[in-house]
Structure 1
Amino acid sequence: MDIQAFQYDSKNIKSGILHIGVGNFHRAHQQFYTNELLKHEDQQNWGICGVCLLPSDEKIVNNLRSQNLDYTLTICGRDGKDEIHKIGSLTELIWGVEDPKAIVDKIANSSIKIITLTITEGGYNLDKETNEFNLNDEKIKHDLENPSNPTTVFGFIAEGLRKRKADGNGSITILSCDNLQHNGNTAKRSFTTFIEAQDKNLAEWVKENVTFPNSMVDRITPATTPEDVIRLNKKSGIDDKAPVYCEDFTQWVIEDNFIAGRPSWEKVGVEFTQDVTAFENMKLSLLNASHTLLSYPSFLKGYRKVDEAMEDKSIVKFIRDFMDTDITPYVPAPENTDLEKYKQTLIERFANHSVSDQVSRLCFDGISKFPVYIMPNLTKMIDDDKDLTRVAFLFASYRQYLKYKVDDKGHSYDIAEPWMTENDEKLISSDNPLDFLSLSAFKSVDLKESGSFIQLYERFVSEIKNQGTTQVLESII
Structure 2
Amino acid sequence: MKTQVAHYKYDRAKVQTGIVHIGIGNFHRAHEEFYINSLLEDPTQQQWGICGVALLPSDEAIVKKLKQQNGEYSLTICGRNGIDEVVKIGSLVELIWGVENPNAISDKIAVATTKIVTLTITEGGYNIDKATNEFILEDKNVQHDLTNPSQPKTVFGFVAEGLRKRKLQANGGITILSCDNLQHNGNVTKKAFTTFIEAQDKDLAAWVKTNVTFPNSMVDRITPATTVADVESLNHKSGLNDQAPVYCEDFIQWVIEDNFAAGRPALEKVGVEFTQDVTKYENMKLSLLNASHTLLSYPSLLFGYRKVDDAMHDPIFKKLLRDFMDIDITPYVPAPEKTDLDLYKTTLIERFANKAVSDQISRLCSDGISKFPVYVIPNLTKMLNDDKDLTRVTFLIASYRHYLKYKVDDKGVAYQINEPWLTPDDQKLIDSDNVLDFLELSAFQNINLKSSDSFVKQYASFAEKIKIKGVAKTLESI
TM-score, normalising length from structure 2? 0.99
Q: What is residue 310 of structure 1 aligned with on the other side?
A: 312
**Whole-angstrom CA distance in 1 between matches of 2:261 and 2:201:** 22
> Is 2:368 the partner of 1:372?
no
Listed one character per residue, the Cα deviations across residues 155-208 of structure 1 (whole Å, up to 9, x for unaligned) are 000011000000000000000000000000000000000000000000000000
Shift of 1:16: 0.2
Find 2:327's aligned residue among 325, 328, 335: 325
User: Is 1:409–2:411 an aligned residue pair?
Assistant: yes
- CA shift at 1:13, angstroms? 0.5
- Which residue is equivalent to 1:236? 238
- The aligned residue for residue 61 of structure 1 is 63
Aligned pairs for 1:164-179 (under 5 A) are 164-179=166-181
The yes-or-no answer on 1:296 pairing with 2:308 is: no
Shift of 1:402: 0.2
Structure 1 stretches lacking a partner, 5+ long = none
Q: Which of 266, 283, 287 is matched with 1:285 structurally? A: 287
Post-superposition CA distance 1:112-139 (Å, at most 9, x none): 0000000000000000111100000000
What is residue 128 of structure 1 aligned with on the other side? 130
SS of match in other structure, 1:299? helix
Indicate which of 426, 432, 435 corresponds to 1:433.
435
Query: C-alpha deviations, 1:100-121, integer Å up to 9, x for none?
Result: 0100100100000000000000
Matches of 1:444 and 1:68 in 2, distance apart? 46
Tell me how far apart the structure 2 counterparts of residues 152 and 470 of structure 1 sit (CA, whole Å). Answer: 43
TM-score normalized with structure 1 length: 1.00
2:425 is aligned to: 423
Partner secondary structure for residue 415 of structure 2: coil
CA distance in 2, matches of 1:71, 1:143: 34
Local SS of the residue matching 1:437: helix
What is the letter of the counterpart of residue 173 of structure 2? S
The C-alpha deviation readout for 1:74-101, integer Å capped at 9, x for no partner, is 0000000000000000010000000001
Residue 360 of structure 2 is matched in structure 1 by 358
User: Please, what is the CA RMSD of the aligned residues?
Assistant: 0.4
> 1:211 offset after TM fit, Å?
0.2
1:26 corresponds to 2:28: yes
Following the alignment from structure 1 to structure 2, what is the Cα–Cα distance between the partners of residues 460 and 269?
A: 44
1:311 to partner: Cα distance: 1.1
**For residues 120 and 75 of structure 2, what CA distance do their matches in structure 1 show?**
18
- AA at the equivalent of 2:246: V
Q: d(CA) in 1 for partners of 2:476 and 2:322? A: 14
Residue 90 of structure 1 corresponds to which residue in structure 2? Answer: 92
Distance 1:452 1:300 in 2: 25
Q: Secondary structure at the match of 2:477?
A: helix
The aligned amino acid for 1:418 is P
Which residue of the partner structure matches residue 139 of structure 1?
A: 141
In 1, distance between residues paired with 2:48 and 2:301? 41
How far 1:317 moved relative to its partner? 0.5
1:188 maps to 190
| 2:121 pairs with 1:119 | yes
Distance in structure 2 (CA, Å) of the matches to 1:425 and 1:91: 43
Q: Tell me the SS of whatever aligns to 2:334.
A: coil
Is 1:206 the counterpart of 2:208 in the alignment? Answer: yes
Q: Which amino acid aligns with 1:458?
A: A
Show CA shifts across 1:350-384 (max 9, x none).
00000000000000000000000000000000000
* SS of equivalent residue, structure 2 residue 255: strand
The residue correspondences of 1:458-469 to structure 2 (distance < 5 A) are 458-469=460-471
Question: Could you tell me how far apart the structure 2 residues matched to 1:44 and 1:269 are?
Answer: 17
Count the aligned residue pairs. Answer: 476
Q: Determine the C-alpha separation between the residues in 1 that align with 2:206 and 2:138.
A: 23
* Structure 1 letter corresponding to 2:359: D
Cα separation, 2, equivalents of 1:68 and 1:165: 31
Match of 1:150 in 2: 152
Looking at structure 2, the residues matched to 227 and 265 of structure 1 have their Cα atoms a distance apart, in angstroms, of 34
- Which runs of no fewer than 5 residues in structure 2 stay unpaired? none
CA–CA distance in 1 between the matches of 2:298 and 2:314?
14
1:99 counterpart letter in structure 2 = N
**What CA distance in whole angstroms lies between the structure 1 residues aligned with 2:132 and 2:397?**
22
Once the two structures are TM-superposed, the CA of residue 215 in structure 1 deviates from its matched residue by 0.2
Query: Which of 45, 48, 51 in structure 2 is aligned with 1:49?
Result: 51
* 1:386 paired residue number: 388
Looking at structure 2, the residues matched to 279 and 85 of structure 1 have their Cα atoms a distance apart, in angstroms, of 27
Displacement over 6 Å in runs of 4+ = none
- 1: CA distance, partners of 2:405 / 2:252: 36
State the 1:7 CA deviation.
Answer: 1.4
Instruction: Tell me the residue number matched to 2:80.
Output: 78
2: CA distance, partners of 1:414 / 1:211: 40
SS in 2 for 1:78: coil
Cα drift, residue 2 of structure 1: 1.1
Separation in structure 2 between the aligned mates of residue 248 and residue 152 of structure 1, nearest angstrom: 34
Aligned mates of 2:64, 2:277 — CA distance in 1: 39
Shift of 1:401: 0.2
C-alpha distance in 2, partners of 1:107/1:316?
46
**Which whole-Å CA distance do the structure 2 matches of 1:14 and 1:166 have between them?**
23
Q: Which digits, 9 at most, give the CA deviation of each residue in 1:40-84, with x for residues without a partner?
A: 000000000000000000000000001111000000000000000
Percentage identity across aligned positions? 71
SS in 2 for 1:93: strand
**SS of equivalent residue, structure 1 residue 19:** strand
Residue deviations 1:371-398 (CA, integer Å, cap 9, x gap):
0000000000000000000000000000
1:263 pairs with 2:259:
no
1: CA distance, partners of 2:31 / 2:9: 18
